[in-house]
Structure 1
Amino acid sequence: MTRFFRKPVEKNTRRGAATVEFAVTIPVFALFLVALIEFGHAYMVQTTLRAAAKKAARMGVANGVTTDEVSSEAMKIVSSAVRTDNLTVLIKDANIFDTSDAPTENLNITNLPDIALQDAETRHLFIVRLELPYDEVALFPPFWVNNLTLHSQSVMRHE
């Protein structure tokens, strides 16, 4: 019986293979890691906006609370997480949604009339909307998206 033996491979023949593989995979891994961090941060900001809109709207339900107090409450909550230099707080009259014949298709909330919550009647519907440009809160420059605005809103009735 004849046995075949392989010639031993020299250690120096694959010397650069690991370096090439590392050079190819590390940029892909780094991009994946940066994207994961950025999307997580964007989700955190969106959740903060949602919570701030809900809490501010809930505050606006009570009698005697002014529109400025509701706006500053929303600002305070969002500022605990991110810069609020370009945060827009809109508090609008939403009674248009109470009538069934009102056209709500393609309705721009910024075009709704402002509301003074301190003068609002019982069961008056209002919207608290928060808007924040994504460019202002992004951890890394967002080269994949331009002019994105994160927003959230809450609709409540004045009591």
Structure 2
Amino acid sequence: MIMRRFSTQPAAPTFRGGHRRGMTTRRGSATVEFAVFVPVFLALVLGTIQNGHNIDVKHKLHAAVRQAGRLSSQDYRGRLLPGQTANQKVILDIRNQLKAEGINGDQVQITITHADGPLAGAPFDLSDPNNSLKRYRIHLEVPYSAVNANGLFPMSFEKLSASLVFRRSIIFAVEE
């Protein structure tokens, strides 16, 4: 078989100056597209990270409130330190749990109040036998600046909070 040295096919088009024949010049358009795309994409990614962090902190606050509600509905009298009230014990346990979760518990504002009725919003004494079977609210509030670890979007004006309502269910035995 004889191989031809020259092909009968027309030669492939050659490129000169980086431009194809018949194409408009697009020099620098990729740079402009990149310059527009990157800030938008970066804002979306950082916003997603920040919102994920906020959701994580809110979850930790709600977990601490739930645990405090469980503790306050148990017979805790044997666990109190001398001179310690039930409210102080619950607040101390909330602060300790938040510290274990990586949140500065000292910066969290904790309130235990009546949830409904004419005393709604007034302080609720967990040790008072008259409060048996009454509903109370445990509310936590922390400044956003206290939990904003990465500082991507500083929002010092915002506070994160968690609040749940419980029923005081311990029946105090009257000793005669």
TM-score bin, normalised by smaller chain: 0.7 to 0.9
Say whether 1:21 aligns with 2:42: no
CA contact (8 A) 2:144 2:160 kept: yes
Give yes or no for the alignment of 1:57 onto 2:57: no
**C-alpha displacement at 1:9, in angstroms?**
6.2
Structure 2 SS opposite 1:68: helix
Contact (CA 8 Å) 1:57, 1:127: kept in 2 or not? no
Worse-superposed segment, 117-126 or 36-45: 117-126
Q: Which residue of 1 aligns with 2:142?
A: 132
SS across alignment from 1:117: coil
CA contact (8 A) 2:46 2:152 kept: no
Assess if the C-alpha contact under 8 Å between 1:131 and 1:149 holds in 2. yes
Alignment of 1:93 onto 2:114: yes
Aligned position for 1:76: 96
Deviates more, 1:68-77 or 1:7-16: 7-16
Match of 1:147 in 2: 157
- CA 1:70/1:11 → structure 2, altered by over 3 Å: closer, same or farther? same
Q: Helix, strand or coil: the match of 2:107? A: coil
Per mean C-alpha deviation after superposition, the further-off stretch among 124-133 and 59-68 is 59-68
Q: Rg larger in 1 or in 2?
A: 2
The structure that is helix-richer by fraction is 1
Q: CA RMSD in A?
A: 2.9
Q: Which residue of 2 aligns with 1:106?
A: none
Unaligned runs of 5+ in 2: 1-9, 20-24, 81-85, 171-176
Distance 1:34 1:85, change over 3 A: farther
Under a length normalisation based on structure 2, what TM-score does the superposition of the two structures give? 0.67
Structure 1 segments unaligned to the other structure (5+ residues): 104-108
Query: Does 40-49 or 82-91 show the bigger shift?
Result: 82-91
The size of the alignment, in residue pairs, is 143
**Residue 39 (structure 1) aligns with:** 51
The structure, 1 or 2, with the larger RCO (C-alpha pairs under 8 Å, 6+ apart) is 1
Amino acid at match of 2:158: L
TM-score normalised according to structure 1 size:
0.73
**Aligned mate of 2:125, from 107, 113, 116:** 116
Tell me how far 1:23 sits from its aligned partner: 1.9
Q: 1:69 to 1:24 in 2, by over 3 A?
A: same
